[in-house]
């Protein structure tokens, strides 16, 4: 029987190099791997999958996927999570705004890419549950369109930044006091003294978070068209195995102390393993249940989904024992 051809849209991460090089061999599948980013230039991967179902399989925002799934979208997923971030390193502030800690954000204008961007959901949830910053205590200012429509909770103020306004300028000039972002704002990359991180030692905050909760928060999931999974119910398990193959290959790359351009990359890896254990990137449902349940709770609290989904609702049935 001929292999099933599937298009797979992924970001160009180191962990996806085996897919790009064609050294991953998922049984019964001929993958066409497409490197598709999420920026405005030739990207918008999430929107292309959510709105136009352009790919058979796609690395997708967990936040938008959960929202779409709750609204009956014809998508399913496999328990592979190719992007993760702690929120604490992704909270940037105007250094002239008098913000010295999380509670100083109360009453301020805080920018987000969108209200439902996965990092936005995580950061808002963490600010509330870890640091006592209520969702309705901040004016949230978004800079991008929302991929999935929703109504914000009562009492929550949500504004849209002027479309011609550059976020970096707004942050430097104090129009917004902070920015919660999955990528550093340009003024921070440029070394602008007006922009710094919310936490003086975000790494220590993240280690403490990991020690309390036991996981590295998920940002993205691998989603696929429901009809593809239903027509080929073995394919989700084969794809899961393919990502495990890629993970093993990627892990071997990291054994070379000069595989990364970071001078002390191998030292960083060894320190990470001491602090976070041998694998902060687990696949499978069981190993990620608490991580996913916490995120789903954040989505309910933020009005993005009306009621909690079960973790099992997110994934194709043949992968649930993983």
Cβ contact 35:192 at 8 Å: no
Q: Which residue has the tokens 């963490």?
A: 126
Residue 300 phi/psi, 5° resolution?
-65, -45
Confidence of residue 5 (pLDDT cuts 50, 70, 90): very high
Please tell me the distance from the alpha carbon of residue 110 to that of residue 97, in angstroms, as a whole number. 12
Bridge-partner residues for 94, per DSSP?
195
Bridge-partner residues for 157, per DSSP?
139
What's the pLDDT at 41?
60
Model-wide pTM > 0.85: yes
If you average pLDDT over residues 190-202, what whole number do you get?
A: 96
Give per-residue pLDDT as tens, 114-130. 999 999 999 999 999 99
Q: For the chain, what is the mean pLDDT?
A: 94
Percentage of the chain with pLDDT > 70?
Answer: 99
How far lies 310's CA from each of 279, 295, 314, in Å? Answer: 25, 11, 7
If you average pLDDT over residues 144-172, what whole number do you get?
A: 89
What's the pLDDT at 1?
65
How far lies 14's CA from each of 245, 246, 251, 257, 269, in Å? Answer: 14, 10, 10, 15, 14
What's the pLDDT at 164?
80
Give per-residue pLDDT as tens, 30-70. 999 999 988 756 678 999 999 999 999 999 999 999 999 99
Report the relative pairing of strands 91-94 and 195-197 from DSSP bridges: antiparallel
Whether 208 has a pLDDT exceeding 70, the answer reads: yes
What's the pLDDT at 168?
85
Confidence of residue 306 (pLDDT cuts 50, 70, 90): very high
How far lies 192's CA from each of 31, 168, 171, in Å? Answer: 43, 10, 10
Q: Which residue has the tokens 């100083």?
A: 104
Residues 6 or more apart in contact with residue 85 via CB below 8 angstroms: 119, 122, 182, 217, 219
How far lies 165's CA from each of 52, 144, 160, 195, 296, in Å? Answer: 28, 12, 11, 17, 32
39 versus 104: the higher-pLDDT residue is 104
The angle formed by the CA atoms of residues 33, 37 and 42, to the nearest 5 degrees, is 100
Q: Is 245 helix (H, G, I), strand (E, B) or coil?
A: helix
How close are the terminal C-alpha atoms of the chain, in Å? 26
Whether 166 has a pLDDT exceeding 70, the answer reads: yes
Say which DSSP state 84 is in: B
Residue 11 phi/psi, 5° resolution?
-80, 155
Say which DSSP state 136 is in: G
Residue 281 phi/psi, 5° resolution?
-115, 50
Q: Is 96 helix (H, G, I), strand (E, B) or coil?
A: coil
Give per-residue pLDDT as tens, 68-95. 999 999 999 999 999 999 999 999 999 9
Please report the beta strands in 65-193, taking only residues with DSSP state E, as ranges in sequence order.
75-78, 91-94, 109-112, 139-142, 157-160, 178-180
Please report the beta strands in 201-300, taking only residues with DSSP state E, as ranges in sequence order.
220-225
């Amino acid at each position: 029987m001929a292999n099933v051809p599937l298009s797979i849209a992924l970001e160009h991460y180191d962990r996806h190099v085996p897919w790009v090089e064609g050294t991953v061999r998922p049984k019964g599948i001929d993958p066409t791997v497409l490197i598709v980013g999420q920026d405005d230039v030739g990207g918008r991967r999430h929107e292309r999958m959510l709105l136009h179902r352009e790919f058979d399989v796609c690395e997708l925002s967990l936040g938008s996927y959960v929202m779409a799934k709750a609204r009956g979208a014809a998508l399913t997923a496999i328990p592979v999570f190719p992007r993760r971030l702690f929120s604490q390193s992704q909270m940037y502030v105007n250094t002239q705004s008098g913000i010295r800690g999380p509670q100083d954000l109360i009453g301020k204008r805080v920018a987000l890419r969108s209200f439902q961007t996965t990092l936005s959901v995580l950061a808002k949830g963490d600010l509330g549950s870890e640091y006592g910053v209520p969702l309705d205590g901040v004016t949230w200012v978004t800079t991008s369109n929302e991929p999935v429509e929703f109504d914000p909770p009562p009492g929550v103020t949500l504004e849209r930044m002027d479309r011609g306004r550059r976020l970096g300028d707004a942050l430097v000039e104090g129009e917004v006091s902070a920015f919660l972002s999955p990528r550093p704002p340009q003024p921070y990359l440029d070394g602008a003294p007006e922009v710094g991180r919310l936490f003086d030692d975000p790494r220590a905050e993240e280690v403490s978070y990991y020690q309390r909760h036991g996981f590295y928060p998920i940002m993205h999931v691998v989603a696929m068209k429901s009809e593809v999974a239903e027509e080929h119910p073995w394919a989700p398990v084969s794809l899961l195995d393919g990502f495990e193959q890629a993970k093993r290959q990627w892990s071997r790359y990291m054994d070379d102390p000069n595989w990364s351009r970071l001078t002390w990359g191998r030292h960083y890896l060894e320190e990470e393993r001491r602090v976070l254990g041998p694998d902060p990137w687990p696949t499978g449902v069981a190993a990620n249940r608490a991580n996913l349940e916490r995120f789903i709770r954040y989505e309910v609290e933020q009005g993005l989904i009306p009621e909690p989904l079960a973790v099992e609702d997110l994934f194709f049935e043949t992968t649930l024992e993983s």
